[in-house]
């Protein structure tokens, strides 16, 4: 079940605008064969928002450096393309979904080093939590009947664009339930581009597809344009 029915819309939050980044960000079309467009800069709110707006997202590059990625192809989930199986519909009734109630805990669970690809470190958690307090980053949280957090995801929303960053699940279908709830809210908010970075078997089973970098950047420009 979805626990926010009748409440204020998830994305109807007041945005705090940070200073623009002091860095000159590269053209994402110049990314290398692996998808890395640059290394360096910082995780200040202005840098993150400018990077997402032009088509890049960050990941650690060693202990103290940041890499900025623009993969080709790019994974997206069409807003009308989510695949919800009958078993997943049943799972949606077994959990409670909340939004933006424990953002840091969701990120911490996503970055659990015991998980495959658990690369999210404290620097990233602190940076995205700042974005969250400014209204730009959001979390979806899935709770079981004992009120235990068992799944979730987080991402960044800019106008009609949502960048899904990472998800976790400690109960069957919990992360998929989070996706179902998120897609409902993205459609309600007239979002037109849902970025998932790379397609995986898990995401493909829910409707994720690959698009070229050029096509992605065209979609991004349209989605981030002020209404």
Report which of 133, 138, 77, 135 is spatially closest to residue 107, judged by C-alpha positions: 138
Query: Cα separation of 141 and 15, whole Å?
Result: 21
Q: Find out whether 76 and 209 touch, Cβ atoms under 8 Å.
A: yes
Report which of 132, 193, 134 is spatially closest to residue 161, judged by C-alpha positions: 193
166 pairs with which residues across the strands?
154
- What is the tens place of the pLDDT at every residue in 183-214? 999 999 999 999 999 999 989 999 999 999 99
Q: What is the chain's mean pLDDT, rounded?
A: 93
- What is the tens place of the pLDDT at every residue in 8-28? 678 988 999 999 999 999 999
Instruction: Give the 3-state secondary structure of residue 197.
Output: strand
- What is the tens place of the pLDDT at every residue in 94-112? 999 999 999 999 999 999 8
6 pLDDT band, cuts 50/70/90, is: very low
Q: Which long-range contacts (CB under 8 A, 24 or more apart) does 56-65 make?
A: 56/25, 56/28, 57/163, 57/165, 57/197, 58/124, 59/119, 60/119, 60/121, 60/123, 60/124, 65/39, 65/40
Report which of 165, 160, 97, 96 is spatially closest to residue 129, judged by C-alpha positions: 165
Residue 192 Cα distances to 77, 102, 147, 153, 219, angstroms: 10, 26, 33, 19, 8
Pairing mode, strands 209-211 and 193-197: unpaired
What is the percent of the chain where pLDDT is above 90? 86
Q: What are the sequence ranges of the domains in the chain?
A: 28-69, 74-224
What is the percent of the chain where pLDDT is above 70? 96
Pick the CATH number of 74-224 from 3.40.630.70, 3.40.30.10, 2.40.30.10, 3.40.50.300: 3.40.630.70
pTM: predicted TM-score of the whole model, two decimal places: 0.94
Report the Cα 114 to chain-centroid distance in Å: 21
Report which of 162, 190, 160, 179 is spatially closest to residue 2, judged by C-alpha positions: 179
Question: Does the CA dihedral 136-142-147-150 come out positive or negative?
Answer: negative
């Amino acid at each position: 079940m979805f626990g926010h029915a009748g409440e204020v819309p998830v994305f109807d939050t007041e945005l705090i605008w940070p200073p623009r980044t002091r860095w000159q960000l590269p053209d994402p079309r110049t990314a290398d064969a692996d998808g890395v467009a640059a290394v360096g800069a910082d995780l200040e709110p202005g840098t993150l928002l400018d990077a997402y707006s032009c088509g890049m997202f960050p990941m650690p590059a060693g202990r103290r450096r940041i890499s900025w990625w623009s993969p080709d192809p790019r994974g997206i989930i069409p807003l009308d393309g989510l695949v919800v199986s009958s078993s997943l519909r049943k799972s949606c009734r077994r959990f409670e979904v909340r939004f933006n109630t424990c953002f840091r805990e969701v990120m911490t669970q996503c970055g659990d080093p015991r998980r495959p690809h658990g690369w999210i470190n404290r620097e990233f958690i602190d940076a995205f939590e700042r974005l969250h307090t400014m209204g730009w980053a959001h979390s979806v949280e899935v709770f079981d009947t004992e009120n235990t957090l068992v799944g979730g995801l987080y991402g960044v929303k800019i106008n009609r664009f949502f960048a899904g960053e990472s998800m976790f699940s400690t109960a069957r279908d919990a992360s998929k339930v989070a996706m179902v709830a998120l897609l409902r809210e993205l459609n309600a908010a007239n979002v037109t581009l849902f970025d998932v970075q790379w397609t995986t078997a898990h995401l493909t089973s829910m409707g994720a597809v690959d698009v070229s970098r050029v096509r992605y950047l065209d979609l991004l420009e349209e989605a981030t344009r002020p209404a």
